[in-house]
Amino acid sequence: MNAARVWLVGAGPGDPGLLTLKAARVLARAEVVVHDHLVAPEILAMVPRRAELIYAGKQRGRHTLTQDKINALLVRLARRGKRVVRLKGGDPFIFGRGGEEAQALARAGIRFEVVPGVTAAAGVAAYAGIPLTHRDLAQACVLVTGSRRRGAAELDWKALARPDQTIVVYMGLPGLERISRELIAHGLSPRTPAAIIQQGTTATQRVVAGTLAALPRLAVEAQLRAPTLIVIGRVVRLRNALDWFVP
């Protein structure tokens, strides 16, 4: 480990086997671990007993700590000379607010290191049997968030509705009906294949697949709950043939 005081570590999308070797090495030397609610218990069990565990999870409508308080906590712990690991589900820099935390550390003059993780788009889609790109079906893949800060710019629905690309929506379950409606209104066929995956890569993974127009209704009927990932595009058709993972 180098002279960094804080490590922003991606824990992967759920399956503890997807944790990287570097992440495991960093965890083994941690003195404090500030973790999210999506981190698998098996990964938290790897933290040394001497280390302090601090829960800073965020769920819809329930934030243990605000982002500003998490930023301040990381700075405060680092200034005490602790080796701090900020452990996050997926990848820190892909809809994980790791960029905001890194900015706070940089402003405070604290050295940090980023340990990338398998992001949900890659891991969850793969475990659902959906390749995000395919030479015949999708020449691009777009990652977007369905959760927006107040006053944030609107999504570019017209660009998202372009053909021959895969759309992956993080945190999109609450806005699924609007996502479907806007994409159809901006040119995407209502019959576009789409899927929503709950708790992907874990033993409780569930996949609901259908058309873009029908997906909001199917999700309600299946009583899906966060965390979920939405995948929209022709590659979803391959799921039936490529569905390899048995929870």
126, 233: one domain: yes
- How far apart, in Å, are the Cα atoms of 146 and each of 47, 54, 149, 150? 32, 27, 10, 12
**Residue 66, domain extent:** 6-115
Question: Is 158 marked active-site?
Answer: no
- pLDDT for 61 equals 57
Chosen domain end from 94, 115, 136: 115
Q: Residue 247 domain-assigned?
A: no
Question: Is 36 marked active-site?
Answer: yes
For tokens 């940089």, the residue is 106
79, 17: one domain: yes
Which one of the listed residues 15, 36, 88, 91 is annotated catalytic?
A: 36
Average pLDDT, the chain: 94
- Cα gap 178→216, rounded to integer Å: 9
Which one of the listed residues 15, 22, 58, 91 is annotated catalytic?
A: 58
Sequence letter at residue 101: E
Segment 33-52 shows an average pLDDT of 96
Kindly tell me if the per-residue pLDDT of 95 is higher than 50: yes
- Cα gap 109→234, rounded to integer Å: 47
- Cα gap 20→96, rounded to integer Å: 17
Segment 179-197 shows an average pLDDT of 97
Tokens of 65: 């700590």
Worst-scoring range by mean pLDDT, 50-54, 153-157, 201-205? Answer: 153-157
Over the stretch 234-243, which tens digit does the pLDDT of each residue have?
Answer: 999 999 999 9
100, 133: one domain: no
The band of 202, judged by pLDDT with boundaries at 50, 70 and 90, is very high
Chosen domain end from 115, 134, 160: 115
56, 96: one domain: yes
111, 162: one domain: no
Kindly tell me if the per-residue pLDDT of 1 is higher than 50: no
10, 108: one domain: yes
Q: Write out the H or E segment, with its range, that includes residue 243.
A: none
Q: Residue 1 domain-assigned?
A: no
218, 133: one domain: yes
User: Residue 223 is part of a domain; what is its CATH number?
Assistant: 3.30.950.10
Q: Write out the H or E segment, with its range, that includes residue 98.
A: helix 98-107
